[in-house]
Amino acid sequence: MQHNAMTGAEAMVRMLQAYGVKHIFGLCGDTTLPLYDAFARLDHDIEHLLTRDERHAAYMADGYARVTGRPGICEGPSGGGATYILPGVVEASESSIPILAITTDVATTSRGKYPLTELDQVALFRPLTKWNASLDQPDRLPAMVRTAFRAMTTGRPGAVHLALPFDTQKAPVDGDEIWADAAHQTFPAARAAPDPAAIEDMAGRLAGARSAVILCGGGPVIAGAFDALERVASAIEAPVATTVSGQGAIAETHPLSLGVVGSNGASPHTRAVVDQADVVLFVGCRAGSVTTERWRSPPRTATILHIDSDPMVVGANYEPTVGIVADARLALEALADALEARTPGAQGGAAKAAAAWAAKTAEFEALAASTETPIKPERVIKELMGVLDDDAIIVADPGTPCPYVSAHYRFGKPGRHFITNRAHGALGYALAAAMGAHVGRPDVKTVALMGDGSFNFACGEFETVMRAKMPITFVVFSNAVFGWIKAGQDSGFGKRYYNVDFGRTDHAAVAAAFGLKTWTVADPDDVGRALKAAVAHDGPTLVDIVSQPLHEAAAPVSEWIA
């Protein structure tokens, strides 16, 4: 792609165009005027979606990247814009999702003179991104954009940041420098292959196991390792458990799927299978506190095998007998080849998985059938499974939605059908991430689940939803409490409830004021009808469900059950 001389702002647009960027999420500001003017004047195929704050622009880029396999792009102005965009950048980076945050900045010639909105953006973003820089030298702008795309898509993917000073936007840039490395238009790029000797060692230990379990984090989903994972599991008939982020690594209706394990969304029945394993294979999983219930499950007596693209993850929490630093898909393909060349004995994984699901499902169905009020969250999940098809995308906030979806919603297809922010768990994520997911995959139904705490973090973006005519269905669990914290006070602090309750909002009325079609549901028998109508409607919809608070519910969170 050759161009004549251009400004830095024009060069930024052309570099994004060269990388095949089709969508940008962002918010205007004084320091962004040259960049916006370049977008307005130039002929390009990039759609800019104006958001109502920068935090949600980053969450949209995150959701977009998760469903497209392409980096998500967000932008905002200097000062407050740079600070507001941070939460989404942190969440994406820790979740191994590549987003590029571009924040414009005051002119380099104004630094130290106390200009409005001055702050050290590079210092601010340094500990929170995989890579970041300020484009102080206009002639280096194209190369630095290439570095940003290379950094966020290779190795363990992550978020990057570029500060774009005002004077750089107006300075000349050589158009001959405008080119992109096509390999970095998608992720993961430059996949690392495994050591064949380590694969043989790992295969031998899996084939010789009596009761192996495969435990997948988000890595196999990001890597698209679905077929390879199924081959490995089938070769040794081992049950496949996932973290919350790993849901979608295998269809949860597959005979070897064990479902979610860990303190958020698991059950004693699934944990028992992991605790009885003699060999545990972690794949693309950091074995953090939630997944392992604070490093108690799997037990230290199990032989640990670990595959991860990040060398810092393997061996960080469990001593691996065999550790492989490689892309999840390439490693699992090689492992499947090695196992299929052997004749391992069957390990009864399907029977173990079926028994765990049967026990868990029986408990769930009893609660989902309840006609008690306020409405039990189990009823909402049950009815959602009845109205959504296997291609739908569900985006869940922390609090009430996440553990219930993770524990009880059975995803019938492998792939990215569930999105939740498990790295830092900030409230107010689902509304915007669902918007990004819809932009990235507009042909399927997207549903966002949130508590009323999250609703009030994010409801300003309903204007964006209406302006962009996004047919997303939003579901609010309305219980007038920061439920996760109150449940913690209930179980661990003697029921001393302090500063967790707030006034009830008519969420349907608020959403209707923005223009959404809405329903309010207080009767369990009305949940299914309202959800069916909302999902079938051809525009944005919201269902406000008066629901049971977590501290009174049978929430699938192990520390509360204990």
- Yes or no: say if 416 and 363 are a contact pair by the CB < 8 Å rule: no
| Tokens at 338, concatenated | 């090695």
The CA distance from 132 to 404, in Å, is: 37
Domain limits of the chain? 6-184, 196-352, 369-561
Contact residues for 328 (Cβ-Cβ < 8 A; gap 6+): 219, 220, 222, 223, 225, 228, 283, 284, 307, 308, 309
d(Cα 333, Cα 229) in Å, to the nearest integer?
8
**Cα–Cα distance for residue pair 370/552, rounded to 1 Å:** 14
Secondary structure (3-state) at 393: strand
Q: What are phi and psi of 169, to 5 degrees?
A: -65, -30
Cis peptide before 298 (omega within 30 of 0): yes
Q: Does domain 369-561 have CATH number 3.40.50.970?
A: yes
Fold of the domain spanning 196-352:
Rossmann fold (3.40.50)
- The per-residue pLDDT string of the chain (562 residues; one tens digit each, 9 = 90 and over) reads 455 799 999 999 999 999 999 999 999 999 999 999 999 999 999 999 999 999 999 999 999 999 999 999 999 999 999 999 999 999 999 999 999 999 999 999 999 999 999 999 999 999 999 999 999 999 999 999 999 999 999 999 999 999 999 999 999 999 999 999 999 999 999 999 999 999 999 999 999 999 999 999 999 999 999 999 999 999 999 999 999 999 999 999 999 999 999 999 989 999 999 999 999 999 999 999 999 999 999 999 999 999 999 999 999 999 999 999 999 999 999 999 999 999 877 789 999 999 999 999 999 999 999 999 999 999 999 999 999 999 999 999 999 999 999 999 999 999 999 999 999 999 999 999 999 999 999 999 999 999 999 999 999 999 999 999 999 999 999 999 999 999 999 999 999 999 999 999 999 999 999 999 999 999 999 999 999 999 999 999 999 999 999 999 999 999 888 6
Same fold, 196-352 and 369-561: yes
Angle, helix 33-41 to helix 8-18, in steps of 10 degrees: 60
Average pLDDT score over the chain: 97
CATH architecture classification, 6-184: 3-Layer(aba) Sandwich (3.40)
How far is 233 from 240, CA to CA, in rounded Å? 7
3-class secondary structure, 76: strand
Cβ burial 320-339 (10 Å sphere, 16+ → b, else e): bebbbbbbbbbbbbbbbebb
